[in-house]
């Protein structure tokens, strides 16, 4: 089930799957909808990272395959604009792959996360690894993955 976290003006907290930040001062309908949707489908490996527009009036629901009836029922009367976007890969599989990549390649990767778009895994390669290899993408070229890797150079993200 989704956990709604209130936010102050500070940096966004690190979130787990099914968690989201409710920023103050905006319409609450989108957060209520997201909470209801996460309650019925948040544990599904097919449910991806939702996207909230900057004006907090539009929600993008990312899903792999057919949207189940309980999720369809929640989205039937959304209270805001909703777009359902199909993902190329199952988001749960991408999260599992990101964890595997970090576990098996700690000497190359500083971080790995499933992309919100559901089209692969974002990986962060430290400069000390990327520079000698000729760039982040070259540093991960030998890593075997069934999904596309989107590499960028950077240090370990703060906890």
Highest mean pLDDT among 33-37, 74-78, 109-113: 109-113
DSSP string, 117-144: TSS-EEEEE-HHHHHHHTSHHHHTTT--
Q: Are 66 and 91 in contact (CB under 8 A)?
A: no
What does the pLDDT look like over 115-135, one tens digit per residue? 999 999 999 999 999 999 999
- The pTM assigned to this predicted structure is 0.80
What does the pLDDT look like over 65-106, one tens digit per residue? 999 999 999 999 888 899 999 999 999 999 999 999 999 999
Closest CA to 101 of 63, 140, 129, 138: 140
DSSP string, 2-14: -EEEE--SSPPPP
Taking phi over 0 as left and psi of -120 to 50 as alpha, with beta for the rest, 65 belongs to left
């Amino acid at each position: 089930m989704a956990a709604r976290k209130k936010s102050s003006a500070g940096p966004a907290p690190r979130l787990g799957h099914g968690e989201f930040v409710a920023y103050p001062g905006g319409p609450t309908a989108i957060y209520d909808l997201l909470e209801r949707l996460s309650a019925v489908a948040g544990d599904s490996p097919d449910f991806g990272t939702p996207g909230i527009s900057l004006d907090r009036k539009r929600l993008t629901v990312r899903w792999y395959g057919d949207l189940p009836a309980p999720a369809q029922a929640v989205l039937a009367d959304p209270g805001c604009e909703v777009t359902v976007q199909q993902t190329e890969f199952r988001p749960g599989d991408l999260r599992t792959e990101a964890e595997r990549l970090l576990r098996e390649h700690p000497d190359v990767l500083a971080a790995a996360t499933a992309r919100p778009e559901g089209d692969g895994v974002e990986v962060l390669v430290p400069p000390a690894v990327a520079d000698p290899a000729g760039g982040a993408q070259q540093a991960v070229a030998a890593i075997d993955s069934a999904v596309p890797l989107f590499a960028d150079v950077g240090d370990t993200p703060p906890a």
